[in-house]
Amino acid sequence: MRGAWYRRSAGERARGPTHLNARRQLAILRQRIVLPVRGRISRLALLAAFSAGILLAGFPEDDGFVRAQSRESAEYEVKAAFLYNFAKFVEWPADAFQNEKAPIALCVFLADPFGNALDDVIRGKTINKRELAARRVSDLRDLRACQLVFVSDKEGKHLPEMLNALKGASALVVGETDQFAERGGGIQFYMEDNKVRFSANVDALQRARLTVSSKLLALARIVHEKNHRKED
- Give pLDDT, residue 52: 32
DSSP class of residue 99 equals S
On average, the pLDDT of the chain sits at 76
- Give pLDDT, residue 230: 54
In the chain, where are the structural domains located? Answer: 4-223
pLDDT tens digits along 193-209: 878 889 999 999 999 99
With a CB cutoff of 8 Å and minimum separation 6, the contacts of 109 are 137, 138, 143, 149, 150, 151, 152, 155, 158, 162
Other residues' Cβ atoms within 10 Å of the Cβ of residue 171: 24
Other residues' Cβ atoms within 10 Å of the Cβ of residue 87: 22
* Helices of type H across 91-153: 117-122
* pTM score over 0.85: no
pLDDT at residue 39 tops 80: no
Report the chain's C-alpha Rg in angstroms: 17
Please give the residue that has the higher pLDDT: either 156 or 58.
156
CA gap 196, 80 in Å, rounded = 12
